[in-house]
Structure 1
């Protein structure tokens, strides 16, 4: 069976943990140890990205994730990098579902897609850097 992009995202949603923007914002406010990554493309993040997020485009996420200084700092306090809490945000919440599924396949156990993406983040008036 051939799936289009929307159908693939819909099928993966059941396998991926989703979290709302307010929850991620609260974790950031409480300084909960986590890695928050905006996976949008550079032309998208140039207009603004969530405060507290790192920017890694979706196309290179798997290859560049472990090179982030924040990643290295966070895993030093964990028994295994697989336990690192990773929160992914994109424009609307579709690419982050795909990215979360990919990171889960790599062995990461605490991966979350931010439901509604940057659109929801912005609509809720949460802090944005670079606007």
Structure 2
């Protein structure tokens, strides 16, 4: 492997895998304000729901002490494919590493995350990531 988790995948690779593998899950590790105000992936076309579980807890941004335990309750096996998404693909790496250390074998970081990097004006969501790639998403 060469790293502490299964690897990085593009948003389109993750979307395809979520549609094709009935056991694969998507865990959005952003904060509650991000879920509420920025939006979340819409997996209804794949017959699934996104699992919103913060890796870091807003506003102090400490690591969620219950994160691994919550995934252990959610997952059906240690071999299940778990795709992890954050704003830009940084927090989701940390979550993938922690889950792999806990015994999960197929934890994937979704590169560029939900919003991707900032554009030249400093705004996210326009040049890369889940939203900019035209994948389904919704705002609450």
Q: Same fold (TM over 0.5)?
A: yes
Query: Is 1:57 the counterpart of 2:57 in the alignment?
Result: no
- Partner in structure 2 of residue 86 of structure 1: 82
Counterpart of 2:100? Answer: 104
2:88 and 2:113 in contact (8 A); partners too: yes
Q: Do the aligned partners of 1:39 and 1:61 also contact (CA within 8 Å) in 2?
A: no
Inter-partner Cα distance in structure 2 for 1:106 and 1:31: 22
CA deviations on 1:59-117 (whole Å, 9 max, x unpaired) are 2421311333xx3xxx2xxxxx2111111000000000011001010010011000000
How do 1:1-131 and structure 2 match up within 5 A? 14-16=3-5, 17-30=7-20, 32-47=22-37, 48-52=39-43, 53-58=50-55, 59=64, 60-68=66-74, 71=75, 75=76, 81-119=77-115, 120-130=129-139
Q: How many residues align?
A: 109
Structure 2, unaligned stretches of length 5 or more? 44-49, 56-63, 116-128
TM-score, normalised on structure 2? 0.71
Q: Distance in 1 between matches of 2:134 and 2:42?
A: 12
When the two structures are superposed, what TM-score results if normalisation uses the length of structure 1?
0.75
Select between 52-61 and 119-128 the one with higher mean Cα deviation. Answer: 52-61
Structure 1, unaligned runs of 5 or more:
1-12, 76-80
RMSD: 1.8
Secondary structure in structure 2 of the residue aligned to 1:92: coil
What are the superposed Cα offsets for residues 23-82 of structure 1, whole Å, 9 maximum, x if unpaired? 1111233353211100000000112111131100102421311333xx3xxx2xxxxx21
